[in-house]
Structure 1
Amino acid sequence: MKSQISHYYLIVDLEATCCNSKTIPRHEMEIIEIGAVMLNRTTWVIDSEFQQFIQPVRHPQLTSFCTELTSIRQQDVDEAPKFLEVISRFKEWIDLFPNYIFCSWGSYDKKQFIQDCAFHNFPYPFTSEHINIKEEFSEYLGVSKKFGMAEALNKLGIELKGKHHRGIDDAHNIASIYRQIKTKKLS
């Protein structure tokens, strides 16, 4: 039986509730933004994007640390739908691209999806493998050091576009990194 060829890299970046102390334990952090792009593996162009804020329920008040880090305002999440509505919309969008591979910078995004889906009793939305682009970037350079996304952009001479720690902007920036390392490997 032939294996199905993936036509897209689904590149996802999440932002979640956070603080610079222990007032929000790691296991209680919640997704407050999903930013995602579908990077076409043939053209290396982004064919579609998804962005949505999410209203947190465990710790509905964003910390000043979170707001300063992400630039996501309290009003953004107060006016946003809750997780179940957003994850359902996100799943519908993903399903428009049945041949994809789920990718993110590191394993954090995958773990946060697993955690939030379990908390809200929603099935994990991804049917594909997961690619950790942070690890692939280190392999591409032939080093063991793990780079932050902004540091990787700098190393490749790519300008950071948008606001760092905003899901949709970081998804676009990660796509730029991945496009460069994948197309350089092919040439």
Structure 2
Amino acid sequence: METTNEIIIVDLEATCWENDRIPIGQKVDIIEIGICKLDLTSHSISHKQSIYVIPERSEINNFCTKLTGITPQLVEEKGIYFEEACEKIMDEYNPEFLTWAGYGNFDREQIFEQCDWLGIEIPFSGEYLDVMYEFKRHFRLHKSIGLKRALDHLKMNFDGNHHSGADDAYNTAKILHKILEA
């Protein structure tokens, strides 16, 4: 396997419902893949983007739009199907050679579940880093804390909008960089 000094950071936004009450006949669908690359040599964060995804098993409701800022119209105009999004990631990030990371395990599990449902290959390597867990371990905390609280702990500002996949991925990259340089 090729060695590299880059890590892909991923943060998903998905269809969601108030009190996690998923309506009968609907399933959680990825509606945004926020992604960027952390270069461990230059310490830079690059290739930041939002890939909007058309939900195939559910609809974007008002609660979800309020939380994420993602509207059905936005996804209709800019969205691509999940399988196309995976192909785009493979073309632009060469993820099969890179470790990938996210804040917690939800994103990893959701990608696995959606790939399994579609019968497609997972677009990432088998090397996944849970930044939430690594943060907890690094600072010897008794329990995990959320993304914003982790940034507060590091006395770092949150850049962008919370629950924007690209912004959350970028902020996760900042946290990971800080942990790895310590």
Give me the TM-score of the superposition, normalised by structure 1: 0.89
> What's 2:48 paired with?
49
Does the aligned pair in 1 maintain the 2:10–2:33 contact within 8 Å? yes
Displacement of 1:50 after TM fit? 3.4
- Find out whether 1:85 has 2:88 as its counterpart: no
Does the aligned pair in 1 maintain the 2:31–2:54 contact within 8 Å? yes
- Find out whether 1:70 has 2:82 as its counterpart: no
Q: How does 1:57-136 map to 2 (within 5 A)?
A: 57-59=56-58, 61-79=59-77, 80-95=79-94, 99-136=97-134
Displacement of 1:123 after TM fit? 0.6
> Which residue of 12, 15, 21 maps to 2:13?
15
DSSP 3-state at the match of 1:161: coil
Does the aligned pair in 1 maintain the 2:103–2:132 contact within 8 Å? yes
Where structure 1 has 5 or more consecutive residues not aligned to the other structure, the ranges are none
Where structure 2 has 5 or more consecutive residues not aligned to the other structure, the ranges are none
Identity of aligned residues (%): 30
Question: CA-to-partner distance for each residue in 1:19-65, whole Å, 9 max, x for gaps?
Answer: 0142347x810100001111001111013223210111111x31111
Moved more, 105-114 or 41-50: 41-50
DSSP 3-state at the match of 1:123: coil
Q: How does 1:137-148 map to 2 (within 5 A)?
A: 137-148=135-146
- Find out whether 1:165 has 2:163 as its counterpart: yes
Displacement of 1:11 after TM fit? 0.6
DSSP 3-state at the match of 1:145: coil
Question: CA-to-partner distance for each residue in 1:133-187, whole Å, 9 max, x for gaps?
Answer: 000001111112101001101111111111101100001111111111211x2xx
2:31 & 2:177 partners in 1: Cα distance? 27
> What's 1:156 paired with?
154
Give me the TM-score of the superposition, normalised by structure 2: 0.91
Give aligned pairs, total: 179
Displacement of 1:94 after TM fit? 2.1
Displacement of 1:78 after TM fit? 1.8
Displacement of 1:99 after TM fit? 4.0
Displacement of 1:5 after TM fit? 2.7
DSSP 3-state at the match of 1:178: helix
1:24 & 1:132 partners in 2: Cα distance? 29
**Structure 1: which amino acid aligns with 2:164?**
R
RMSD: 1.7
1:171 & 1:24 partners in 2: Cα distance? 28
- Find out whether 1:29 has 2:28 as its counterpart: yes
